[in-house]
Chain A
């Protein structure tokens, strides 16, 4: 059964990565006749005859030409599903439901590629309040940060933003940030003395936002 769902009243569209990939291929004329995935989308009301439902068309347009890819891995008391933010000339799409091909993705679309930094900030959701970061400057192994962010009692979040500003370039870590629920953020950077360790450098929320806008600007969207 298809995980795709169309909820017109709530303005929500859900589809899996497998369905979206099949839909993009079909849209670009690379589809397989009688593809059961496309047939499943038809049953869900997302494909009617030769037409893609208007609520899904902008998403397919973005996915058909992706220039920027951001992968957000996060830990907020426990590991969270990986979210992917994709941008191209047709806008920005968020796939928030992890990387499994058949997991339903509650799709979010924004019409302007220039909204990329804001959409990304909404996905990462760094604290808006300044304060001491969750860790002091002492170098630690990555697993120490991870363990703290996976402990619900600590109230610590950790995000690894992986980024590619060109279609043919794989994503690479561009910003690793940690923050406390009560406020106070820091960037996790390689330790100058021991590259196997990482240090937490205090960062103001506006500095982190500036980093995101700089990434988007560098990608030219």
Chain B
């Protein structure tokens, strides 16, 4: 398990362009977490600096590549089974809401690469299709320590979609 201090202060928002004129996405990165210079296919990857445990917690932003789902219910019907199918594990929490925007919250206890992880995610849907997901992950052994920080970060996800057909 790892150790950190001052996890509950907000460091900064991390705005990223979604590309192709789709809009911008923001998330509150926890204090003491460092954004990766090379997030790969993700929009953002951040991890706590100086983490001493074997599994470094992470915060990730990504666009969701999936079939377009016109409604929140349709999106949930598609996303929940596919997430459980690809990650496996135990569904801890499933929730959805329309405020401040259409969103789907998922928390799963799973196993990846030989580590037992808790993964919590917020999906924010674009009306008419498309989504962005903020995902927080930590070892089960660290979850009690990090739950509040990761949930706060993931649920701070804000997306400013550009109108479909609008100027890039």
Contact = CB atoms under 8 A, between A and B. Distances in A.
A118 B91 CA distance: 10
A121 B95 contact: no
Contacts of B144: 210, 213-214, 217
B95 A210 contact: no
A206 B114 CA distance: 23
B118 interface: yes
A102 interface: no
B107 A206 contact: yes
B107 to A, nearest CB: 6
Contact of A118 (B93, B111, B120): B111
B141 A209 contact: no
B123 to A, nearest CB: 16
Contacts of B95: 129-130
B157 interface: no
Nearest to B144: A214
A125 B56 CA distance: 28
A87 interface: no
A40 to B, nearest CB: 35
B143 A205 contact: no
Contact of A117 (B1, B91, B109, B120): B109
B94 interface: yes
Which applies to chain B's interface (DSSP): helix, strand, loop or mixed?
A: strand
B93 A130 contact: yes
B90 A112 contact: no
A210 B143 contact: yes
A216 interface: yes
Interface string A179-221: 0000000000000000000000000111001100110110000
Given A206-B107, A206-B151, A117 B140 contact: yes
B107 A209 contact: yes
Interface string B106-145: 0101110011101010000000000000000001110110
B114 A128 contact: no
Contact of B140 (A129, A204, A216): A216
A115 B139 CA distance: 10
Contacts of B151: 206
B32 interface: no
Contact of A206 (B111, B115, B139, B147): B147
Interface of A: 112, 114-115, 117-118, 121-122, 128-130, 204-206, 209-210, 213-214, 216-217
Interface of B: 1, 89-95, 107, 109-111, 114-116, 118, 120, 139-141, 143-144, 147, 151
30 contacts: A112-B111, A114-B115, A114-B116, A114-B139, A114-B141, A115-B111, A115-B116, A117-B109, A117-B140, A118-B89, A118-B90, A118-B109, A118-B116, A121-B92, A122-B90, A128-B94, A129-B94, A130-B93, A204-B93, A205-B93, A209-B92, A209-B93, A209-B107, A209-B109, A210-B143, A210-B147, A213-B118, A213-B141, A217-B1, A217-B140
